[in-house]
Amino acid sequence: MKKLTGVIIKEFLVLYRDIPALVFLFIMPAVLLIVISVTEDKITRQGKVSLLLIGSDSSEIKKDIEMGLQKSDFFTVMNINSTDQSIIESAKQSIVTGKYQAEIIIPPDASKTMSLRAENLVSLSSKDPDNLKDSLNSRNGLAVITVIFDPAIKDSEKYSLINALKGIFTGTELKVMMDKYFASLGQDLNQQFKTKVNSLKKKDISINIPDMPVNEELNNQVRKSIDKLSTEDINLKIPKFPWQAQSLLQISPLYANNPRNEVIKPTISQICVPAFTLFAMFFIVMPLAGSIITERKEGAFHRLRTLPVSYFTILLGKIFVYMAICILQFLFMIAIGLYILPRFFDMPALVMGSHYTAIIVTAIMSSLAAIGFGLLVGSWASSQAQASTFGSMMIVILSILGGVFFPVYLMPASIKTVSIISPIRWGIDSFIDLFVRNEGFYSIFLNLAKLFSFFILSVTLSLISYFRRN
């Protein structure tokens, strides 16, 4: 035990004096975590696509577009009440400079054009129904809404806007068309009734009831009523078309693989903090492998082998020290998620779920996996340069596969399959289960087992290398 303490003290002193390593282990991942979290948060919150909407405020089309886009969480609309061409041109500059990502221009006569076309189509539907289809397909007489895009806009954002506008237009068109249709229907029915009554006027509807003294009087009264009816409008009241967008159907968004069908949306912190914690932990390969190689190259290990201390004690000392470093890294990153990001960058604080024991165990298992990797590289590499190059390359690859820089679900199936070999992924998946889904040990047990097995395998391979060398 005392010898183990001696090894631990030595390892701490060696690491404590390796300032570049400490910067690498703490500052670099912290900076990455903050920069990437803040950037992703900005992309999520404010990018929202920024739009300019230019036209007259009295335009019904403009009102519908503004209301429809504002309701969506994806767009931020800047309304300009103007039809002046010079303002439209200067607004284009905002698109060119990237201040806004798109500009929607409502022509001053758009509502009128739309209304006129609707009237024509309604008229055609009763008078010349055979040509209605051709007229519907014709592009003549359409009100044209121009949308000017920033060339740098992402396709997904562009098509989101176009599809949103199409949805809004469908509603606007339907509303205008229905109003015209039912107004025309009222007039049409009115006219048809009058025609029917006039045709009645022309018919002889006299009734001759034998021995009825007031026959003539009765017939005159009926004729007078018919005459009166033929001059009056029936004012047919057509009830208002009871329609509003999404009043019959609704979309219910849910997340897959959730037995309780709860809506769970992970925050940026819940994704980024575990990701960069694992990234940081695995970077201990640099100082750990470095210390093993230095010991070997500088001859200190040669001396150690002549001393009455087992290799197991030396190894255990290194494991303890680097475990402490990994746990410190973990706590440091958690602190960034809990305090730095909300306080200085106005982001939601990290939510960690309630299974704290499972969180600590996951941190320990992830640390062990990282330490095992460091021991493995240190044992097999023959020089510092080799260890640095190979170690850092492998960490970057394992991080990319593990989902540190972008989510695993975005990867193609073939790469997703390969990503399951990354111990970084096992760690991240475990933390996400704990933080986002508030799952317990049962859910993460397999990943913890994989992390521990990776540690055992790495240490075994390190020992093989040691015995081969010595």
Partner 1 sequence: MNQNTIITIENLKKKYKGSDEEALKGVSFSVFEGENFGLLGPNSAGKTTLITIICGLLKFDTGRVIVNGVDVNKAPKQIRSFIGLVPQEISLYPNLTIRENLTFFGRMHGIFGKILTEKVNYCLNVVKLEQHQSKLISKCSGGIKRRANLVAGLINDPQLIFLDEPTLGVDEQSRNLIFEFLEQLNQKGATIVYTTHYMKEAENLCKRVVIIDTGIIIASGTPEELIKNNAGCNDLGQVFLKLTGKELRE
How far apart (Å, rounded) are the C-alpha atoms in residues 64 and 167? 11
Give yes or no for residue 469 binding partner 1 (CB under 8 A).
no
Pick the stretch among 176-184, 213-221, 305-313, 407-415 that binds partner 1 (CB under 8 A): 305-313
Q: Closest separation between CB of residue 271 and partner 1, Å?
A: 37
Give yes or no for residue 306 binding partner 1 (CB under 8 A).
yes
Give yes or no for residue 298 binding partner 1 (CB under 8 A).
yes
Give yes or no for residue 10 binding partner 1 (CB under 8 A).
yes
How far apart (Å, rounded) are the C-alpha atoms in residues 437 and 449? 20
Place of tokens 């960069």: 276
Pick the stretch among 8-16, 43-51, 142-150, 244-252 that binds partner 1 (CB under 8 A): 8-16
Pick the stretch among 40-48, 275-283, 295-303, 360-368 that binds partner 1 (CB under 8 A): 295-303
Q: Which of 152, 307, 410, 413 touches partner 1 (CB under 8 A)? A: 307
Residue 392 three-state SS: helix
- Widest CA span of the chain, in angstroms? 146
Give yes or no for residue 384 binding partner 1 (CB under 8 A).
no
Backbone angles phi, psi at 167, to 5 degrees: -60, -45
Q: Identify whether the C-beta of residue 241 lies closer than 8 Å to the C-beta of residue 297.
A: no
Q: Which residues contact 42 (CB under 8 A, 6 or more apart)?
A: none
Q: Which residues contact 291 (CB under 8 A, 6 or more apart)?
A: 11, 14, 15, 318, 378
Decide: residue 93, CB within 10 A, 0-12 exposed, 13-18 middle, 19+ buried: exposed
How far apart (Å, rounded) are the C-alpha atoms in residues 35 and 47? 17
Q: Identify whether the C-beta of residue 64 lies closer than 8 Å to the C-beta of residue 171.
A: yes
Taking the least distance from each CB to partner 1, the nearer of 14 and 49 is: 14
Give yes or no for residue 308 binding partner 1 (CB under 8 A).
yes
Q: Which of 99, 112, 133, 303 touches partner 1 (CB under 8 A)? A: 303
Residue 45 three-state SS: helix
Pick the stretch among 189-197, 254-262, 306-314, 381-389 that binds partner 1 (CB under 8 A): 306-314
Cα four-point dihedral sign 322, 328, 333, 337: positive
Taking the least distance from each CB to partner 1, the nearer of 8 and 124 is: 8
Taking the least distance from each CB to partner 1, the nearer of 10 and 92 is: 10
| Torsion, CA 364, CA 366, CA 371, CA 376, rounded to 10 | 140
Closest to 370 (Cα-Cα) out of 40, 2, 29: 29
Q: Which of 45, 305, 343, 469 touches partner 1 (CB under 8 A)? A: 305
Q: Which of 124, 165, 178, 304 touches partner 1 (CB under 8 A)? A: 304
Q: Closest separation between CB of residue 281 and partner 1, Å?
A: 23
Q: Closest separation between CB of residue 390 and partner 1, Å?
A: 23
Give yes or no for residue 383 binding partner 1 (CB under 8 A).
no
Q: Which of residues 77-106 bind partner 1 (CB under 8 A)?
A: none
Q: Identify whether the C-beta of residue 443 lies closer than 8 Å to the C-beta of residue 437.
A: yes
Q: Closest separation between CB of residue 283 and partner 1, Å?
A: 19
Cα four-point dihedral sign 116, 118, 119, 121: positive
Give yes or no for residue 464 binding partner 1 (CB under 8 A).
no
Give yes or no for residue 299 binding partner 1 (CB under 8 A).
yes
Q: Which of 18, 60, 109, 119 touches partner 1 (CB under 8 A)? A: 18
Taking the least distance from each CB to partner 1, the nearer of 99 and 303 is: 303
Both structure tokens of 83: 């039809």
Give yes or no for residue 188 binding partner 1 (CB under 8 A).
no
Give yes or no for residue 467 binding partner 1 (CB under 8 A).
no
Q: Closest separation between CB of residue 298 and partner 1, Å?
A: 6
Binding site for partner 1 (CB under 8 A): 2-3, 5-7, 9-10, 13-14, 17-18, 294-295, 298-300, 302-309, 470
